[in-house]
Amino acid sequence: MKEYYLFIILSSIPLLNYSQVGIGTTTPDDNIILEVLSIERLRIDSGDQVYASSTGGTETLPFYSFSGDEDTGIWTNGANNLSIGSKAQEFLTLYCGLEGELVVNQDGDAINTHVETNENSNSLYIIGMNNRIGILIGSPATEIHVGGTSSVIRVDALNSINNGNNNGVDLSPLAASANVTSLFHLLHFLTILK
């Protein structure tokens, strides 16, 4: 009986080296290949890289999507680019042309863009519906709205040292609301006197 078990163990050792399994083929290789209707859809090679055999997909039918949410996912519509979308809208596209580019909202849909930092959840907020940009504020009231009580804006082109075209009369096209501190008014007055 011991010889029988020893024979089974010794004869099983070569099978460990040739453990490929083929479904529908008698000569499987060391890649994992998923075919549907004899069309290769997915391949995992022996180097552990996963290849999607299709370069397709759209914002309504992404190549890689999720069960129950078929219009959310990842796709590519050409070489060297990758798109991410949800609810049949393209939110983010990565292009790698000569310089590379990150495009938010390629289609120009009414999508909001929100950037958070460690200190402020509304560091940058772009409202797509009315084309407003908020810095340190989540609901900008004008086209460009800077929030915060100690915010500083610097525009080098408005400074006479940096701009040779500055005529010293109309120094700034910026408007200030009644809530601006007196320090701003003082600095603006001193700039006009310059």
Compute φ and ψ for 192, nearest 5 degrees.
Answer: -65, -40
Q: Give pLDDT, residue 16.
A: 52
Render the burial of 19-31: b for 16+ CB within 10 Å, e for the rest: eeeeeeeeeeeee
Claim to verify: residue 133 and residue 174 sit in the same structural domain: no
- Residue 99: C-alpha distances to residues 66, 94, 105 (Å): 32, 11, 19
Claim to verify: residue 48 and residue 70 sit in the same structural domain: no
Claim to verify: residue 88 and residue 123 sit in the same structural domain: no
Give the confidence band of 66 by pLDDT, cuts at 50, 70, 90.
Answer: confident
Of residues 156 and 118, which shows the higher confidence score? 118
Claim to verify: residue 100 and residue 117 sit in the same structural domain: no
| Residue 59 placed within a domain | no
| Residue 151 placed within a domain | no
pLDDT in tens, 151-171: 777 666 655 555 565 555 544
Q: How many domains does the chain have?
A: 4
Claim to verify: residue 136 and residue 160 sit in the same structural domain: no
Distance of CA 131 to the CA centre of its chain: 20
- Of 13-17, 55-59, 89-93, the least confident: 13-17
| Residue 32 placed within a domain | yes
Q: Which residue range(s) make up the domain with 45?
A: 2-52
Claim to verify: residue 99 and residue 76 sit in the same structural domain: yes
Claim to verify: residue 92 and residue 122 sit in the same structural domain: no
Claim to verify: residue 100 and residue 142 sit in the same structural domain: no
Per-position DSSP letters for 93-105, written without gaps between them: EEE-SSS-EEEE-
> Do 168 and 194 form a contact (C-beta atoms < 8 A)?
yes
| Residue 58 placed within a domain | no
Is pLDDT of 191 > 70? no
Of residues 54 and 122, which shows the higher confidence score? 122
Give the confidence band of 59 by pLDDT, cuts at 50, 70, 90.
Answer: confident
